[in-house]
Amino acid sequence: MTTQNLLENHRSIRKYSSKNIDQERLEKLLTAGIRASNTGNMQLYSIVVTQGEDEKKALAPAHFYQPMATEAPLVLTICADVNRFSIWCKERKAEPGFDNFQSFITAAIDAVIVAQNIVISAEAMGMGACYLGTTLYTADKIIEILNLPRGVIPITTLTIGYPAETPELTERLPLEAVVHYEKYNNYTPAKIDEYFEEKESIEEYKEFIKQNNKETLAQVFTDVRYPKESSVKFSEVLLETLKKQGFL
């Protein structure tokens, strides 16, 4: 399979076989990760590898007990990390200035690029992966579990293993819905209807609407899956965690 086909056929894998990932393949995944582009070649990230059953169980509550968080043979927590580079600076008579929000954003972007490199590498080797969006929701708890020092905060988590399923590809909006040439062209109601027509016509989503007693799919997203109250709550926790970890 070509790289282009690999990327176009990406799917999240949530069920894994019992086959383990050997050390050689693990190191290939990690090496692919650290070859990712990053700001100033400072590598403001760290990867915490979790393979032990007890250790995965310890992380499970922070990932809302999603089955793949314990069933996958490999769990990687990708962190924004200005701690290592700051220590190096101080040891070399330089005063680091990474205790700020800009540095957090920089390190967070670097961490996500690392994660995507790992996912692509895993898929190229016949494995599958899934991003866990719970990581930023419970960053404070993961910090305690993984003993992350000041200057380090978890950004995303990957579960990786050999697939025990082949889910259908999930739909995506058409290119013209997300790509703007030269300048941003805002959306008219007619264009919104056109771009979201496929998503709204999927039977599974229609069933979501019925199950949740809603009128539209948008209401499922705003009222059930991602309600503002929860977002505000998790935002407050994250901001407090950023302060504690020295980014604000």
- pLDDT score of 68: 96
* Confidence class for position 32, pLDDT limits 50, 70, 90: very high
* Model confidence pLDDT, tens digit, residues 146-191: 999 999 999 999 999 999 999 999 999 999 999 999 999 999 999 9
- pLDDT score of 5: 85
- Mean pLDDT estimate for the chain: 96
- pLDDT score of 3: 81
Give the separation between CA 110 and CA 107, rounded to whole angstroms. Answer: 5
Exposed, middle or buried: residue 61 (CB in 10 Å: 0-12, 13-18, 19+)?
Answer: middle
Cβ–Cβ under 8 Å, residues 21 and 160: yes
* Closest by CA position to 233, among listed 169, 140, 163, 123: 140
Q: Answer yes or no: is pLDDT of 74 > 90.
A: yes
By three-state DSSP, how is residue 74 classified? Answer: strand
Helix segments in 35-75, DSSP class H: 53-59, 68-71
